[in-house]
Structure 1
Amino acid sequence: MNPSRRSTIATLLALAVPSALAQPARLLKVVASFSILADLAREVGGSAVEVVALVGPNADAHVFEPSPADARRLATADLVVVNGLGFEGWMDRLVRASGYGGPITVASAGVAARWLGRGPDPHAWQDLANTQRYVLNLRDALSRARPALATEFGQRSAQYIQRLQALDREVRARFDAVPRPQRRVITSHDAFGYFAAAYDIQFLAPQGVSTDSEASAAAVARLIDQIRRHDVRAVFVENIADPRLVERIAREGGAAVGGRLYSDALSPPGTEADTYLKLFAHNARTIASALLGPR
């Protein structure tokens, strides 16, 4: 080979190697089962992750039916994140259909679950202390997937936990202003048990922990009677549920509809509850305002 040609090739190779090393790492593809988990994963992962939610804003994971497109999303994921506690009854079927064989992180692992009858209440994210455990589980899962970024994930999770703790202090101060006898509300389904336990509020609902169940006539009549006898100040509709039943209960019981709460899903981007922190702050503010309002 001509010496000048060898020199040219060597020069090109020398230039190419640093360029290749400088290429940014491929984004970690994370598929979260629903919008709240997706938001938490983005907070911890930052610019290193590309997150997709199977169940999007204002959508109900209880009655979700996966599509072939969802199976394709799962098949190309690096990490799948689920809530656990029986929330995603469709997930095992979807994993089998997709052929996904990668890691699956259960965000609620380590949380002390509430038990209702024979099953756990899956809505553990309705307690900010539980969400801190979610964040730590996400930190660990992302760090296993990208060890070189473990420090960054640790810093981001620590900062986010500080924001969760600050919000918890704010919410507790807000409910401290509400007399305990007034802390009774009605929602569409039993999604706020953890919130109720954390802030000493009684939540009543015509449906159980899943919106897939039908409210019985007896349950509806019982709630209407409770409104009348126990000074229930407000009834709330949920973003994932048909409001007509709750509106009827409020009307017949003589209570006000106190507004819309976000239970199992964020609101669309650019609206009032499009992140988990905004969702939780909105719910606390809406409930407290209704409870302090005139009867």
Structure 2
Amino acid sequence: MHTSPRRSFIAAAIGIAVLASSTAVQAQTTPALKAVASFSILGDLVRQVGGDRVAVEVLVAPGGDAHVFQPTPSQAKLVGQAQVVFSNGLGFEGWMSRLLNTARYKGRHVVASQGIQPQQAEGDHDHGATGGHHHEENDPHAWQSVPNAMVYVGNIAKGLCAADAAGCEGYQRNAAAYVAQLQALDADIRTAWSRIPAAQRKVITSHDAFGYYAHAYGGRFLAPQGVNTESEASAKGVAQLVRQIKKEQIKALFVESISDPRLIAQIGRETGVKPSGELFSDSLSAAGGPAPSYVAMMRANTTALTQAILGH
């Protein structure tokens, strides 16, 4: 079959156009920046601001505990190749400075909590279970307050702009859109808690990770462990907590996704309070779980907490 020169020309032109188009799409979707975030919650915030322009690797994966994390040589190599590294700060990643030194990291290090006034851990004057030495320890879990997460987003956008000026306009646009989502989330959380009298807003969790949440939305969170999951719960403190649960008739008892459930199960047996389920404090869930993103995590936690207190 004979093909006319005109038809061959058209076919060639189409081929060139398709190739050019695919090359342009590839250029748009190839990340311009390599970023590393210390843990899964922070990684999600960086992805929200960075969009397709930033490739984000997370050191402490969903389900992991950053308090006890030990970086591997391959992760040190990953950090060494990054253009920007994001950490929480406030003492959360005790291993970070050591990792940056090991990796001989020369890029930009952004502390996402910069500018947030640290809260002190509640300590033994509140939950009584961790021993007095925790009362001077800063609580690093600042992301548990949505207004604080908005500060994180601003710091992330600045860090990305500093590392990649060509993408700055896009990062600022993404950050503004995401802050609008966070404002709606914050309003919804306040609405959810408004149905519950202040005196009833009492919750037991595995470790002292919800101080910022309590400060932002009202309520009292008691825990057998301090702000670091490596801290040991004392027998005396646990016994005191059990008496308090019985006396104040606290019904909301939760284990955290990163914590060993046995201590909460023991407290449940001793108080007759059935654990209400799982909260996400320091980590997102896997992609198919109830908390695959920061927004989903805050919504899932708020629903679980308020339903447990209301007895639903």
Question: Structure 1-normalised TM-score?
Answer: 0.91
| Structure 2 partner of 1:280 | 298
- Native 8 Å contact 2:43 2:57 kept in 1: yes
Inter-partner Cα distance in structure 1 for 2:198 and 2:137? 29
| Structure 2 partner of 1:32 | 37
Give the aligned residue type for 2:225: Q
Task: Find 1:111's aligned residue among 105, 108, 116.
Answer: 116
| Structure 1 partner of 2:9 | none
Inter-partner Cα distance in structure 2 for 1:248 and 1:174? 30
* 1:96 aligns to 2:114 (yes or no): no
Give the aligned residue type for 1:122: P
Structure 1 segment 124-273 matched on structure 2, within 5 A: 124-273=142-291
3-state SS in 2 of match to 1:256: coil
Inter-partner Cα distance in structure 2 for 1:101 and 1:203? 40
Report the CA distance between 1:105 and its aligned residue: 0.1
Superposed CA offset, 1:6-52 (max 9, x none): xxxxxxxxxxxxx8x96557521100000001000000000000001
- Native 8 Å contact 2:31 2:55 kept in 1: no
Superposed CA offset, 1:189-229 (max 9, x none): 00000001111110000000000011100111011101100
- Native 8 Å contact 2:160 2:171 kept in 1: yes
- Native 8 Å contact 1:182 1:231 kept in 2: no
- Native 8 Å contact 1:227 1:254 kept in 2: no
Inter-partner Cα distance in structure 2 for 1:273 and 1:130? 19
* 1:51 aligns to 2:24 (yes or no): no
Question: Structure 2-normalised TM-score?
Answer: 0.86
Inter-partner Cα distance in structure 1 for 2:284 and 2:154? 21
Where do 5+ consecutive residues of structure 2 fail to align?
A: 1-19, 122-134
Inter-partner Cα distance in structure 2 for 1:242 and 1:203? 18
Please say which of residues 123-132 and 226-235 is displaced more in the overlay: 226-235
3-state SS in 2 of match to 1:30: strand
Structure 1 segment 49-88 matched on structure 2, within 5 A: 49-88=54-93
3-state SS in 2 of match to 1:62: coil
| Structure 2 partner of 1:9 | none
Give the aligned residue type for 1:268: A
Q: Could you list the runs of 4 or more consecutive aligned residues of structure 1 that deviate by over 2 angstroms after TM superposition?
A: 21-27, 116-119
Inter-partner Cα distance in structure 2 for 1:236 and 1:71? 35
- Native 8 Å contact 1:186 1:235 kept in 2: yes
Report the CA distance between 1:262 and its aligned residue: 0.1
3-state SS in 2 of match to 1:141: helix
3-state SS in 1 of match to 2:253: strand
Please say which of residues 29-38 and 249-258 is displaced more in the overlay: 249-258
Superposed CA offset, 1:70-127 (max 9, x none): 1011010000000000000001111111111111000000111102333321000000
Report the CA distance between 1:270 and its aligned residue: 2.0
Give the aligned residue type for 1:250: G
Identity %: 47
3-state SS in 1 of match to 2:67: helix
- Give the alignment's Cα RMSD to 1 decimal: 1.6
Inter-partner Cα distance in structure 2 for 1:146 and 1:101? 15
Give the aligned residue type for 1:216: S
3-state SS in 2 of match to 1:225: helix
